[in-house]
Structure formats: structure tokens, C-alpha cells
Structure 1
Amino acid sequence: MERQELATTAAAISAGDEPRVTERENLIGYYRVHRPGLPLVVINGHIDVVPVFDEGQWDREPYSGDRADGFVHGRGAVDTKGGIAAALWALDSLDQAGVELPFDVAVELVVGEETTGVGTRATLERLPNRLGTIVLEPTSGAVVTVASGLLFFTVEVTGRAAHTSVPWYGVDTGPKVFQIYQALTRLGDERAAALTDVRMPFPSAVPLAIGTVDIGGWRAAVPARGSLSGRIGIMPGENVEDVRAALTACVESVAAADPWLVDHPPVVCWDNEGLRSWETPESDQVVIALDRGRRRAGLDSRIEGMTAGCDAGILRDAGIPTAVFGPGDMRYAHSPNEKIAEADVLEATQVIAHALLAWSDFFEPEQS
């Protein structure tokens, strides 16, 4: 096992807003021993988790790790400790069976996936040349070959403060923020209807959702400031700048109908460069291996897409064949009562073990 201190990496230096880089590190482990010179397959899982802001809605202590009713409960159980456990058990089962793989296997356990992706960017400095990477995210056992991207945005609105005993002298930002909220919701509905993919049979392949709304600052003053922040999905093949323009035009359409906003236009801020959509051809070895892994584990072929952003996009941008696979249901990620079914972890263990054996098939000598 190798430790990679974030502070020593170029990725951490360029990700200026990643917290506590001097206190954090990636872990890179190898199947049996590291065998430099062989082709490399990488299994990627992230060990950071999102904070708990809603502890009152949990039935258990959020970090309990309780095992009950066939599930492991707690923050990070599905995102992505369950997938990591499955991968490690898969490698352990191959080791106990005496399997010698014709390629090197590295397991990279990274930090920063929930924020900037700095951990995976850093491991690319250490392991740039790969046959492919399996990214462990909860896909309910599906092999994911395509995902929509996303942009984070904030819209800031300015009003005019006044004492709440004479509110008519002020300009309340509250109604204006909610008009923008409603307009953006309609934009999301329109995009959901127009942009579809059979591999993403969800209500929307490009979700637009508002995560926070912040209005005012003092209860005895008419709100003079307001903002809302959220995300807008990006379809594979869709131009990021076109998506920015569509959202900006939506906000401007609300402002054009409001005399105050005409003179004091809302400001649209982009909170990240955007996670681009990505796609890996189904003819690639990583996809074929995982698909065969499912079938050799007694499961049906299941190739799908996803709407969640993850480090797979970083790897595809680097030209690395990548597929996402893991146990558990994405709906439990980032939510109260996060959990993962033990049966799903065991099933994923079988699939990953069989997938690595299936990947070995590409290295068998051709028959004369």
C-alpha cells in the first residue's frame, strides 16, 4: 500500500478551494504485490462523505455503522464504503483461490470526490497509464457507461432594505427569488422532456434542482438580498456554454418583466467549471468485463446511464476507459438513514471478481 499526501500533488495546488489538503491523503493498494511493467487495471472508490446536516431525521446515530435487518446503516454506507468492501473482498477471494492475473490491479481510495475531485486527479499523477478504471458508485448493480454532466450555479438578487414597520419603503427580494425559482423549475421540466436517453429512463436525464434558497438577513428589515443555488444537468454531446446561456436567458426573462429587476438585474454566478458528461463505448474491455462479470455471477446483462456526477468524468477526460459499477441504491446517498443491503454488497463482490477474471480473457494467447 502507498500513501499519497494531497499537499504534495499538483492537483491539490490547482484545487485551491479543497479544504484541509495538508491533513488528507489517498491510499493506493495493489493485488498481492505491485508489478510495474504490466498493464494496469484500477478500481477507484472514494472515502470522503458529505456532512450530516439533518441528524434529527435519522433513526440511528449517523455514523453508527449498525447492522440490522440485512442492511449496514450510516453515512457513507452506500456512498461508497459498500462498493469498496465489495472490491476488497473480490480481490481477497481471488487471492485465496490462487488466481494470478495477467495484469496489475490497483485499488485507489481517494478523498475529495464530494467536492473538487482532487483525489482522483492526484492519483492520475501516480497512475496515468491504465487499461481502464472501475469507479465504485451505487448503481444498483448496473454497469454504467454514460452519465450526464452538471453545472453548479447561484443566482443573486438585490432589493432595498426598509424597517418592517414601514415595509412599503423597501423592495422585498423574496417574491423575486421565488419567481426565478419557478422559472428555473419550468426550464428543468422543458429540458427533461426534450433531452432523453434510453439508458437513463428517469424522470429527467438532466435534472435541474435548487438546493438552497437564502433570503434576507435581519427579521426586522425587508429582505434586501436573496439568492438561490442549484445544479443543472448537461446531456452527453451538449455544449456547456449553451447550457449556461439557456439558464442565464431564463433568469433574464424574469428580470425583463419586473421594473425593479430591469434596473437591478440578478447576477448569475457559476460555482464550478462544470462536470462534463461522459460516455464509454460498450465495446471497451472495461464494459465487456463487467457485463461478463454480471452474467457469470448468474445475473442478466444490465448496461445503463446515470445522472449523478462522479470522478468517472475526470478519468474519461484523461482518456481512460471507465465504467461505473457498485452495490446499493443511489437514492440513499446524501440522505437521512443512508444504508446498503448486505446482499447487494455480496452480489457486487461476485460480479467484480468475475469481471477481473473475464478481463483476463483478453490476455489469453490466440489459438492456432
Structure 2
Amino acid sequence: MTEEAYTVSGNLTPTQIAAIKQATWDLLSKCREFLASLIQIDTTNPPGRNYPECAQLIGNTLHELGYAVEYVEVPPDQLPALAPVGQGLQRVNVIGRLSGTQGRSGKTLHANGHFDVVPIGMPENWKYPPFGGEVHNGRMYGRGTADMKGGIAAQVFAVEAIRKAGLKLKGNIEQSGVVDEETTGVHNAGMGYLVDNGYIRADKIDAIVITEPLNTTNVCCGHRGTIWGTITFRGRLSHGSMPGLGVNALHHACSFVHLATTTISPQLAPLSDPNVIPPAARVPSLAFTILQAGENINSVPDVAAVSFDRRLVPGETLAGARQQIFDVLQSMKKTPGFEELEYEYKEDYRTEATWIDPNLPISLVFRDAIKVVTGQEAGIVVSPGSDDQRFPVHSLTPPIESTIVYGPGYISEAHIADESIDIENELRVGMEVMALAFASFLGAE
């Protein structure tokens, strides 16, 4: 099949494109109202508030639009492992399915967004109510407007724009709203649970679009990898006035931090990846973030724990990143003064770096849709953090490699006070890009 078959202009007529564009304007007020109603439900995670209510809102909306809706609740006995910060609160995901004219013989595209949001921080830092969904000067304010309830609203109404334009999708569309993306985890109660339990399957789904905000003109084809870990050093107690009788675990921890920083960081600089945004995140990194040791000032500590955040760019592997750390620890043991070095290594979270081919059909249709809508060549980027793309790409056998990230809004708005999205220039533009790409990928008549 030619590359033209994966472009908007190759699959849609100018009349159809114009009709979809107009439909996004006609539906913008409904999309905005839906987004405001999502923002007004406080789904702060941790701990994971009001998930059932938000899932119900999304499900009711999809049901009214003709989708078959399924709610997926994580069994309570799995919550301690999958949602350890959830304090026993319910974890409910929602999936809507809409069949195309070709039925099972048609392609299936799955659009996904998470509806949990990070804490607001200090309320006094917000000019506008964090759960108000208020619009001022063309921007909607509130936690989740960009990251990423805006993406959920846009993906839902992108399909409605296709239908309002008088077109019928040949292929099938699925919409999911999931929980707990913000608290990560090797497995989680959201997208991870759907993947692990057969709700997302490579033999049923041809492509996935995760509607995170990576800037409205970018197609995100990957994300950096991550290890969050802790190394606990063991020593021997002694009185502070006679430190030579003890083995100072804090000294070992600090020496390790210094040696790892000076040894590993120079190895990372040449691995800079120009696709990663923002530029400050292009170089893989090792940051030591927490140091805990000692119980009283006049005792040499026998335990010290140091936590680290290691970020990988595509091309690196978790195994390689771990080996760099193990090499430093082993070199310390061979150094005079560290003969009694004892330590335990533990990982709290990890995910491989991800990169998918930007010339896969799903990538091509989004790249072309961005150009049609904005007149700009689409950026092909790598996210600075990790996201739910990791589950279909790394946790499935076979994987769904045709998994991209595209959503309205800007990553710079994520997690800040007065988080916001521009209604016309981001939410609507993202909706139009999605609508054209969905119609091009699935076919429309």
C-alpha cells in the first residue's frame, strides 16, 4: 500500500475535510461543556478520589452517543498491589465501543486517556478554582485541562465531528478512560490492568492513540525510560565519640552518590536524543533525590538509604542502566576503606525507553492531519517522562507497536498551578486533527 493511503488527502475528499472542520466548530461548545464537567470532578491521585463518578460521567456520555459501554473495576483484593497509594478507594475504568460499517472485518482504533490528576499543591497559588472548569479569555482553567481530561474530551468529540459531517466510519472505534496513570507502577490499576487482563489485545486492536498533551503539533512516538530505585547501605553502630569502632553507613551512601555521579553522568552526555522534548530532557540523567540515615546525633548510623531517579533515552536499556550502578558498587568494594561495604538494591518502578517507527500508518495519518489542520510539518518527539504507551508496547505479546501519543494542549501546562487549555487553538485544533486522522486511518464513507 502506498504512503498516500495513510494520508488525509489520500483518503478524504476536500469536501469531507471541510465538513469535518466545520463540525469541530459546531461541536466545540458541547466538547467544552463535557470537559468542564470532567474538571469539576476532583479525581486527585494520590489517593484516587471520585473515580467511579468520573468513569460514570464518561460512560454515560459514550452511551448517549451510541457506544456499547463496559465498566472495568479492579477487584478489591488486587488493590494493595496495583494501587498501593489508593487507601482502599475504588479503581474503575471505562471502555466504549462503536462498530463501523465493516464490522469485525474493519480496522479497530483505540483512543485512550487517563482521568486521574495530580494534587493541586497550595490552593493559594491558584488564581482560578482548580476544579472549576472556568473559561477566561478563551482558556479553560483547572486541574486536568491539559493533563489530560482535555484529551479525553477531544477524542470523544473527534468521532462526533466525523459523524456530524455526515460520514460513517468503516472501521471500529474504542474509547477508554483509565485511572492511576499519575502514580505509575510496574503494573497499575488503569491501562496496565486493561492490558494484563485482556481488555486490550493485539489481535483485536490495530492501533492505539493516547491523548496526552505533547504540544498540539507533535506526534509522540516514544518516551524516556525510568528506574526509580533505592540502595540501602548497612554498617555498624558506634558511639559518635568513637566512630572508628563503627562502620558508617551514611559515609558509604554519600561516597556512592559522589562516585556514581562522577562516573556515570559523563557516560550519559553523548547519548543525547534530539527527539526528546523539552531540550532540557534530551540527555539521559541520574539524579539522587532522597537520603535517609541516622536516628540521633551522637551515634554512627548503621543504615543509610539513598534513592535515585534514572532516566533513559531510546537506545538505552534497563539492564544497561542497572549495570552502570552495579559497576560503581563493585568498584567501591575494591577500594580501601570500603571492604565492609554491604548494600541492598531495590527498584520501586521501572519501564524501558520506548520508540516506535514514525512511518507506521497511525503515525503517518496523524502527521498528515497536523499538516492539513495547522499548515506545519508535524514534530516527531519523545516524551520526557513515561506514560501509558508503555503497556501496549512492552507488556503485550505480541505488542501493539502502533501506539502513539497525540493530544491537545501543551506539556508545559501539566502539573502547574492554573493549568489551562486554549479552547479554540488547542482543544478544537486537537479535535480536528484527531477527527481527520481517525477518519483517514479507519476509512469513512
SS of corresponding position for 2:155: helix
Q: TM-score, normalised by structure 2?
A: 0.69
Residue in 2 that maps onto 1:347:
429
* 207, 232, 238: which one aligns with 1:132: 207
CA offset digits 1:232-261 (Å, max 9, x no partner): 2334343432221112222444555462x4
Cα distance in 1, alignment partners of residues 211 and 221 from structure 2: 13
Q: How do residues 156-235 of structure 1 correspond to structure 2 at under 5 angstroms?
A: 156-161=232-237, 166=241, 168=243, 173-187=249-263, 189-200=265-276, 202-203=279-280, 204-218=282-296, 222-235=300-313
CA offset digits 1:79-130 (Å, max 9, x no partner): 2212212222322322322321111111111113232344223333124111
Q: Is the 8 A contact 2:93 2:176 kept in 1?
A: yes
Q: Which amino acid aligns with 1:306?
A: S
Residue in 2 that maps onto 1:282:
358
Q: Is the 8 A contact 2:91 2:189 kept in 1?
A: no
* 1:326–1:163 Cα change, 3 Å: farther
* 1:93–1:177 Cα change, 3 Å: same
Pick which of 106-115 and 67-76 moved more.
67-76
* 1:262–1:283 Cα change, 3 Å: same
SS of corresponding position for 2:146: helix
Residue in 1 that maps onto 2:94:
27
Cα distance in 1, alignment partners of residues 246 and 137 from structure 2: 56
Q: How do residues 246-265 of structure 1 correspond to structure 2 at under 5 angstroms?
A: 246-254=324-332, 256-257=334-335, 259=337, 261-265=338-342
* 1:98–1:230 Cα change, 3 Å: farther
Identity of aligned residues (%): 21
Residue in 1 that maps onto 2:83:
18
The count of aligned residue pairs is 355
Q: Is the 8 A contact 2:210 2:388 kept in 1?
A: yes
Cα distance in 1, alignment partners of residues 254 and 146 from structure 2: 34
Q: Is the 8 A contact 1:71 1:341 kept in 2?
A: yes
* 1:337–1:152 Cα change, 3 Å: same
In structure 1, list runs of 5 or more residues that go unmatched. none
Cα shift at 1:314:
1.4
SS of corresponding position for 2:147: helix
Residue in 2 that maps onto 1:93:
161
Cα distance in 2, alignment partners of residues 154 and 3 from structure 1: 36
* 1:266–1:146 Cα change, 3 Å: same
Q: How do residues 269-348 of structure 1 correspond to structure 2 at under 5 angstroms?
A: 269-272=346-349, 274-301=350-377, 302-317=379-394, 318=396, 319-320=399-400, 321-333=402-414, 335-337=415-417, 339-342=419-422, 343-348=425-430
Cα distance in 2, alignment partners of residues 346 and 41 from structure 1: 21
Cα distance in 1, alignment partners of residues 235 and 344 from structure 2: 12
Cα distance in 2, alignment partners of residues 59 and 66 from structure 1: 12
Cα shift at 1:312:
0.9
Q: Which amino acid aligns with 2:179?
A: V
SS of corresponding position for 1:76: coil
Q: Which amino acid aligns with 2:215?
A: S
SS of corresponding position for 2:205: coil
Residue in 1 that maps onto 2:220:
144
Cα shift at 1:33:
8.4
Q: Which amino acid aligns with 1:310?
A: D
Cα distance in 2, alignment partners of residues 262 and 56 from structure 1: 51
Q: Is the 8 A contact 2:101 2:171 kept in 1?
A: no
Cα shift at 1:191:
3.9
Cα distance in 2, alignment partners of residues 293 and 135 from structure 1: 16
Q: TM-score, normalised by structure 1?
A: 0.82
Q: Is the 8 A contact 1:45 1:109 kept in 2?
A: yes
